[in-house]
Every structure is written in C-alpha cells, then in structure tokens.
Amino acid sequence: AQSVTQLGSHVSVSEGALVLLRCNYSSSVPPYLFWYVQYPNQGLQLLLKYTTGATLVKGINGFEAEFKKSETSFHLTKPSAHMSDAAEYFCAVSGNTGGFKTIFGAGTRLFVKA
Amino acid sequence: DSGVTQTPKHLITATGQRVTLRCSPRSGDLSVYWYQQSLDQGLQFLIQYYNGEERAKGNILERFSAQQFPDLHSELNLSSLELGDSALYFCASSRGGGSNEKLFFGSGTQLSVL
C-alpha cells in the first residue's frame, strides 16, 4: 500500500523568500513521486516527477525536489517565491504494485505575501 | 490547456438523482482516471481505465460506475446521489497508463447535490 503525507495544510512566505513544501511517502515498492500544482478553478498540472536516476529533480517555474530514500521524503523547494506561485500543491506517489494508481496527498496551500 | 475535456463544468441536482459526467482524454492517450476532490477528503482516486478495460479501482462507491468507450472517452455515472457526493470530479489522462507517467487533468465538473 502507498500513502503520502504533506506536512502543513497552509504555508505562507514573503515574496523572494525560500519556499519549502514537505512531503513524506510510504511505499512497499520503489516509488514514483510527483508534485502537482493547482491554480484556482483549474485542474492539476505536473511540476516535476521522480522515477529513477538522479535524486534531485528540476521542474517547471524554478521548482525542484529531492528524493531521499532514507528519510522517505520528497520535499519541494524554490529559492525565491513569486506572487504567481500562490496555489495549492499536491505531492503524489505511485508504483508498480499492479494497481497503477497515483495517490495524492491532502495538499498544501501556498500563500505569498508582498 | 491540458487537452482533457470535461463536461459539464457545473451540475446542480437533487438527492436521489442520477448524473453522468463525461471526459474526453488528450488525443493519443489510452488511459483515463477519475478523481473526486472535496474539502474533507482531499483528492481521492476513484477508478482508472486503459483502452476500454478497467485497470485499477480506488475508493469508488457502489453507487458510482464508470466506463471507457471505443473512442476512448469515458463517463462516470453517479446514482442515488447524496448530499455528501457534492464535490469536484476530475478526469485525467495519460499516454499508456504506466505508474511513472504524467497525468493531464481536465478542469473538473463541480457537482452540487441539494
């Protein structure tokens, strides 16, 4: 079975500050990990994903995430927040368990203050 | 624009009724997924179809059913509706349905059960 825990349902940062959104996962098989972003009144869009290989993954809009197996974590970071980054962010996990389903975390809403 | 089309965008109905939500995947995508998003439950995986066949099942109620047609569009049928079924229903698609694939989400159907 797989699950995702996102620490903090709301995160607030100032414009220009570091963004850190936390995600821990549980998986009985090697995981595939994803971060998606949802802007108001829109569907989810993929920011980045980790499947195999390099553990530091770079995505769109300056975001990156690092897969740390020992910590079962896949935290999302961005060095400098933009007002346009305000959205809800979802961490997700899947794996070749035979079910092929992608499980999403509860989401973290990011607020960016001017 | 993700290329995934969901209709209708909004649906208002009464308890006990039955509704059908429709999804057209991106051109060339064989796999369709249905998710339910609500404030208390977050984003819940319902069901996945690949090329017309059910591939994975999540927390889908017996009152709900889905199918994928030969032209690859999918329909989610919700019957005997209850107030608690009010939610945003997302359809997503992917090329082959593998666990490591990016999901492309539609804009969702907002269902309100009164």
| Tens of pLDDT, residues A59-90 | 999 999 999 999 999 999 999 999 999 999 99
Query: How many angstroms separate the CA of residue A67 from the nearest CA in chain B?
Result: 15
**For B40, which residue in chain A has the nearest alpha carbon?**
A106
**Within a 10 A sphere around the Cβ of A71, how many other Cβ atoms?**
10
Cα–Cα dist B7/A83, whole Å: 31
Those residues whose C-beta lies under 8 Å from the C-beta of residue B106, and which sit 6 or more positions away, are: A43, B2, B4, B5, B6, B23, B90, B91, B92
pLDDT(A99) > 60: no
Q: Which amino acid is at B69?
A: F
* The predicted structure's pLDDT at residue B36: 96
| Tokens, residue B35 | 């998710």
B98 in contact with chain A, both atoms CB, cutoff 8 A: yes
Query: Average pLDDT, stretch B73-88?
Result: 97
B42 in contact with chain A, both atoms CB, cutoff 8 A: yes
Interface contact B45-A102, CB threshold 8 A: yes
* The predicted structure's pLDDT at residue A40: 87
* The predicted structure's pLDDT at residue A97: 59
pLDDT(A98) > 60: no
Cα–Cα dist B73/A48, whole Å: 27
Nearest partner of B14 among B101, B70, B86, B64, judged by Cα: B86
* The predicted structure's pLDDT at residue A100: 62
Those residues whose C-beta lies under 8 Å from the C-beta of residue B19, and which sit 6 or more positions away, are: B11, B13, B77, B78, B81, B111
Query: How many angstroms separate the CA of residue A48 from the nearest CA in chain B?
Result: 9
Query: Average pLDDT, stretch A15-34?
Result: 92
Of these ranges, A13-22, B36-45, B89-98, the one predicted with the greatest mean pLDDT is A13-22
Average pLDDT, chain A: 91
Interface contact A44-B4, CB threshold 8 A: no
What's the pLDDT band for A102 if we cut at 50, 70, 90?
Answer: confident
Interface contact A46-B48, CB threshold 8 A: no
B53 in contact with chain A, both atoms CB, cutoff 8 A: no
Phi and psi angles of residue B85, each rounded to the nearest 5 degrees, phi first: -80, -10
* The predicted structure's pLDDT at residue A1: 73
Those residues whose C-beta lies under 8 Å from the C-beta of residue B2, and which sit 6 or more positions away, are: A43, A45, B26, B104, B105, B106
